[in-house]
A and B are shown apart, each in its own frame.
Chain A
Amino acid sequence: MSTELFFVQLINGLQYGLLLFLIASGLTLVFGVMGILNLAHGSMYMVGAYLAWYFVAITGSFTAAAILSAVVALGLGILIERVLIQRLYNRNHLDQVLLTIGMIFVFNSLQSILWGNDPYGVAVPEALSGSVPFTDNSSYPVYRIFAALICIAIAAALYFVVSKTRLGMLIRAGESNREMVEALGVNIKSLYTIVFAIGVMLAAISGIIAAPMRSIVPGMGESVLITCFVVVVIGGMGSIKGAFVGALLVGIVSTFAAVLMPTMSNMIIYIFMILVLLVKPQGLFAK
């Protein structure tokens, strides 16, 4: 591999990793704060992509579609938390797994009923459809650079909210001692609703951002869910910083694996995960 190709692939890996972070961040946030393992997280990613496609078809504008989809996802998150997830806080992980697996089936069926089983695609928004010269005969699409920047911006915003704001303080407090936070008069119920809805919205936003780069097909949520779990486990369950580092590592490792040993590429990230867990059984940034 030439040095040039090495850097090209490094950039590909970073870009993929940033998107992975965005998807995984909601999963790890919800787990860290609420102790809920949301297996339907991938479905939220799928919902985001389908909503983006649906609203682009109606409004004709990607920006409008993105905003609408994110708002709908936020509402959906509140609804799911209030109606379903709230009943799980005092139950064990098995019950959570059963409910959230059930949600995967429900969302897949809803997708099939509402939007059919045809594969769809969303066009890259006009303003971002250009590309910048890259190597001798390839160029880098502006939209993918933009997507990476959005991912970085959201990562920074998450960091800021969690470490510098009052909400973030409550989130951190809720993570370490739920009863104490409640005893101090904080309404932990609505805090949980907010956190869960943000988690759902983050997954949906990743689906929206991914829509112009990927194909929108049934089952797209499940495939991304597994990779997300690898990211979260490597980074340490519940750690946002861990998810960031884990996502970049998984992005880079899987990109190079895909080029160097394509037939085995799916396996490599799991081997990588095993290696990380052998050294750090709780993940890189475990609490």
Chain B
Amino acid sequence: MSRIKILASAVLATTLTAGLSTSALAAAGDPVKIGIMLPFSGIYAQLGEAGRDGLKLALKENASELHGSPVEFIELDTEAKPSRAPELASSMLNQHEADFVVGPVHSGVAMGMIKMLRGKDTIMIVPNAGSAAATGPLCSPNIFRTSFSSWQPSYPMGKVALEKGYKKVYAISWNYGMGRESLDAFKESFTAGGGEIVEEVLLPFPSTNFQSHVSDIADQNPDAVFTFFAGGGAIKFVKDYDAMGLRGKIPLLGSGFLTEGTLQAQGEAAEGVVTGLHYAEELDVPKNREFREAFNTEYGHYPDIYAVQGYDAGQAIASTINQLKGDISDKQAVISTMEKLTIDSPRGEFTFSKAHNPIQNIYLREVKDGVNMVQSVAAEALEDPARGCKL
């Protein structure tokens, strides 16, 4: 149905503009086509919905910046399935001729999309997937990211662990891109400062049989544990850790996703967990309070980090169009404008690195009474090393 609608409006648009000969008029009247490639079904559906809602809110709030161009959204459900990604990205490019493609959530899907979109005129904005490659070896002038690189939340945690006096750390995660890269980033700063990783465990994704590993941790008795898990796995790990009596005995550190969107389900088991992330819901920044209220008014619930990242993708698009006075036909100009943006994000202002990844603060948070309370800034304006990127 929606496809028919899009087709119909495309036909209508071409017949209408066919009569107009001046390009200036066409530029002002052409809709800005924003493709949304996010998961709306499957295990990441909630993340996809949040990202889309944030994106749409930003474009609604900044409608005046678009210089009269209407916005046309094309939504395709990635189902978080990497195998479908190239086909969907290709249809965004060729069939829908999107100016911007916002997506995806899942790093595997990101790889499939990048394969199709890299070096093309369409601007790809990643509102979540943290895979190092997207702004590393596979970086491209037309690929931007408004979220994070897997390296960013974990790297400062090595330093944090050392400052807290931990010498021996047990590291555990899933054996896939984000998991491996998170542990590697932690290890990088932790071992450089003299820390020792006593054990590194990589479990098959998305296995959640953690109890035997928690027993193993109790037996090895390290100074602390560092981990990356997200979603259902994060809930299960934190609960198992608490159930086996380790909470309060061996400190639990992690990449911030361990306690993001999961606190209610984790309950008391999450109290005292220390994590690093580029956002915290209670972050005391005026823009954050403003955004949270606006989002709640629009959708009836408070936003999470995925909504923030989608919102910033929307802000980036709106500001770029504004600075170009509504004419986005020159893609080179679009890219160089976007590169220079300073995004007034709910997480605090950020700019893009050469590789197009946010240069942003990483906050040190600790769970207190079911809330991620910001303790300090673990790393200020942290830039991903973008290893392998030639931009």
List residues of A whose CB falls within 8 A of some B CB.
Answer: 2, 4-5, 8-9, 12-13, 15-16, 112, 116-121, 123-124, 131, 134-141, 143-144, 213-220, 223, 254-256, 258-259, 262-266
Contact = CB atoms under 8 A, between A and B. Distances in A.
Interface in B27-52: 41-43, 45-46, 49
Contacts of B212: 9, 12-13, 255-256, 258-259
Given A5-B219, A137-B245, A218-B43, A120 B265 contact: yes
Contact of B46 (A13, A15, A116): A116
B191 interface: no
Nearest to A217: B232
B170 to A, nearest CB: 12
Contact of A119 (B175, B218, B243, B261): B261
Given A5-B219, A112-B41, A137-B218, A265 B245 contact: no
A16 B208 contact: no
B267 interface: yes
Contact of B265 (A121, A144, A219): A121
A45 to B, nearest CB: 14
Nearest to A9: B212
Contact of B233 (A13, A134, A215): A215
Contacts of B203: 258, 262-263, 265
Q: Is the interface of B mostly helix, strand, loop or mixed?
A: helix
Contact of B209 (A144, A220, A254): A254
A215 B244 contact: no
A13 B215 CA distance: 11
B215 A9 contact: yes
Nearest to A139: B245
A259 B211 CA distance: 10
Given A215-B239, A215-B262, A218-B43, 17 more contacts: A5-B219, A9-B212, A12-B211, A117-B46, A119-B235, A120-B264, A121-B235, A121-B239, A121-B262, A121-B264, A134-B244, A136-B221, A138-B219, A217-B235, A262-B201, A262-B203, A266-B207
A254 B266 CA distance: 25
A219 B208 contact: no
Interface residues of B, number: 45
Interface in B173-225: 175, 201-204, 206-209, 211-216, 218-219, 221
Given A262-B203, A263-B202, A131 B243 contact: yes
A144 to B, nearest CB: 7
A2 B267 contact: no
A140 B244 contact: yes
Nearest to B47: A117
Interface in B101-160: none
A264 B207 CA distance: 11
Contact of B244 (A123, A141, A263): A141
B41 to A, nearest CB: 7
Contacts of B240: 213
Interface string B264-294: 1111100000000000000000000000000
B243 A135 contact: no
Nearest to A53: B265
B236 A215 contact: yes
B231 interface: yes
A223 B262 CA distance: 20
Contacts of A223: 206
Nearest to A15: B211
Interface of B: 41-43, 45-46, 49, 175, 201-204, 206-209, 211-216, 218-219, 221, 231-236, 239-240, 243-246, 249-250, 261-262, 264-268
29 contacts: A2-B219, A4-B219, A5-B219, A9-B212, A9-B216, A15-B211, A112-B41, A117-B43, A117-B45, A117-B49, A118-B261, A121-B235, A121-B267, A131-B245, A134-B244, A136-B221, A137-B218, A138-B218, A139-B244, A141-B244, A143-B243, A144-B243, A214-B208, A215-B208, A216-B232, A217-B232, A258-B209, A262-B201, A263-B204
A213 B232 contact: no
Given A8-B215, A121-B264, A215-B235, A137 B243 contact: no
Nearest to A134: B245
A138 B239 contact: no
Contacts of A264: 204
B219 A119 contact: no
Contacts of B42: 218-219
A134 B202 CA distance: 26
Contacts of A263: 175, 202-204
B22 to A, nearest CB: 48
Contacts of A16: 209, 211
A275 B207 CA distance: 23
B219 A135 contact: yes
A121 B261 CA distance: 12
Nearest to B206: A223
A220 B244 CA distance: 23
Most chain A CB neighbours (cut-off 10 Å) among B46, B202, B244? B244
B219 A8 contact: yes
A215 B232 CA distance: 5
A118 B46 contact: yes
A117 B49 CA distance: 10
Contacts of A8: 215, 218-219
A131 B140 CA distance: 54
Contact of A259 (B41, B207, B213, B264): B213
A135 B218 contact: yes
Contact of B204 (A123, A144, A265): A265
Contacts of A219: 42-43
A135 B220 CA distance: 12
A137 B261 CA distance: 29
Residue of A9, A121, A124, A220 with most partner-chain B CB within 10 A: A121
Nearest to B220: A5
> Which of B201, B206, B215 is packed against the most chain A CB atoms within 10 Å?
B215
A118 B234 CA distance: 13
Interface centre among A8, A134, A140 (most CB of B within 10 A): A8
Nearest to B250: A137
Nearest to A220: B232
